[in-house]
Amino acid sequence: MITKTSQELAYEQEESVIGALLKQPDKIELVKSIVAPDCFFVQRFRWVYESMLSLHERGLHIDAVTVGDELERHGHMQELGGRMALSTLRENNRWDNPESYAVKILDYAAKRELLEQAGVMATWSNNGRDASAIRDDMMKRLSEIRVPNHRASQHTQTMKEALSKNWDTVNNGNPHGVKTGFIDIDQLLDDALYPPDFMVIAGRPGDGKTSLLLSIAKNAAESGKRVAVFSLEMSNEQVVMRIISMETGVPFGAMRRGRMTREQWGKYNSAVEKYENLPLYLNDLPAITISQIQRVLRELQALHGKIDLVLVDYLQLGGADNKHNTREQEVSEVSRGLKAVAKEFDVPVLAAAQLSRAVEQRAEKRPVLSDLRESGSIENDADIVAFIYRPEKYDVNTSKHGKAEIILAKHRNGAVGTVELLFRSALTRFENLATKMFRTEEQ
């Protein structure tokens, strides 16, 4: 059996798309959205395609005559084989689907680029570059290669298909919902966090953002959910110690120093035994980018199955895949990227965010949505925004010592309101408080 080379296949697809566009010039905009001139392997077909695009941009009709004139103007007609070659392409009746040919051209172009990058990687390896540096640089290069977006079509449904999925959800409940483990918060969230919601928990330093996130992570993992935690501030070891401290009451400092009482050692060992098989996956890469988060999640899902909850601590420490003029623009990229992660992996994403000092410079210390507006597009990107407010930080005479307000200020698909939790500052631990939320309203 004789198989065609990739060059021969590329030639056929490029010849086909040119012939199809000469017959159906109205498809040029669609083809243009799929494939660029530099994706063409055969130079003379690239010149023809560039001529077509030039005519289209100038509002001129595309046919064998006008394309021939454009080629002659640039001195490329002879390489093509003359005007007769254009007419021959035009008259071949089997070319009737230019968009499908364009997708294949893009696919072949991507494969050529992948082969080229494989050669670059081999050169780096032979030159003794560090493996982690090769991987990081290559991941960035590979992420920039444009490939046919088959996933886009997978996200397109008829109304009937969407209604069918909704019917299953309404009748059977949403099995993908993840409870936070805090009764009143779950009640405000319509019982749980649901995919693909992107929730932000914001507060000032020392308010307990990390503790609340880790408590939710632990509670979800204990219920059997697979949880991925991206800790941009603490190491994985520190995250583990924080979780054990919250569970056992053993001070974090005592564990870090290794100076615990016999009773504390017993509690520590019991917690280690309890949590060692918890489906909780930790990543402490500093300034991790969205593309790196996506790569880690794909690896985790390949090894362990679908991830049910993603947590990021904290958002403003995330790195940007692209260069920006301001830090605000970088934060906006991270924020939009986390929402995209929620949709791509069909998972709730929960991220901590730092509020600016402006909160502490006014009389009313309770955070409001406008406090997020200096932090890129977080307010707009998030489906749910919650603030942590601890009255005792600002009023030593408050009657609410040991309590924290969780202010649900934005809830795209539900109610907003405020609930109270117990906060044990010595352990930086949140606990359920047997009270009802004292304000609820539909947003």
Q: Check residue 400 and give its pLDDT.
A: 77
**193: DSSP letter:** B
Q: Check residue 347 and give its pLDDT.
A: 92
CA 443 to chain CA mean position, Å = 26
Q: Check residue 151 and give its pLDDT.
A: 45
Nearest Cα to 214, choosing from 392, 433, 428, 378? 428
Enumerate domains of the chain plus CATH numbers: 1-149 (1.10.860.10), 175-442 (3.40.50.300)
Q: Check residue 24 and give its pLDDT.
A: 84
Asked whether the beta carbons of 264 and 254 are under 8 A apart, the reply is yes
pTM given for the model? 0.62
Q: Check residue 439 and give its pLDDT.
A: 46
Q: Check residue 2 and give its pLDDT.
A: 44
Strand positions, DSSP E, 122-224: 198-203
Asked whether the beta carbons of 276 and 299 are under 8 A apart, the reply is no
Whole-angstrom distance, CA of residue 437 vs CA of residue 413: 18
Residues in the chain predicted with pLDDT less than 50, given as ranges, are 1-2, 93, 151-155, 435-443
* 3-state secondary structure at position 224: coil
Q: Check residue 442 and give its pLDDT.
A: 47
* Kind and range of the H or E run holding 310: strand 309-313
Q: Check residue 330 and give its pLDDT.
A: 78
Bridge partners (DSSP) of residue 408 are 386, 417
Q: Check residue 311 and give its pLDDT.
A: 95
Tokens of residue 414, six digits: 């539900």
Q: Check residue 349 and give its pLDDT.
A: 95
Q: Check residue 205 and give its pLDDT.
A: 84
Asked whether the beta carbons of 327 and 290 are under 8 A apart, the reply is no
Nearest Cα to 200, choosing from 314, 43, 368? 314
Q: Check residue 153 and give its pLDDT.
A: 47
φ/ψ (deg, to 5) at 224 = 100, 0
* Kind and range of the H or E run holding 240: helix 236-248
Tokens of residue 289, six digits: 């980018």
Q: Check residue 159 and give its pLDDT.
A: 58
Bridge partners (DSSP) of residue 230 are 283, 312
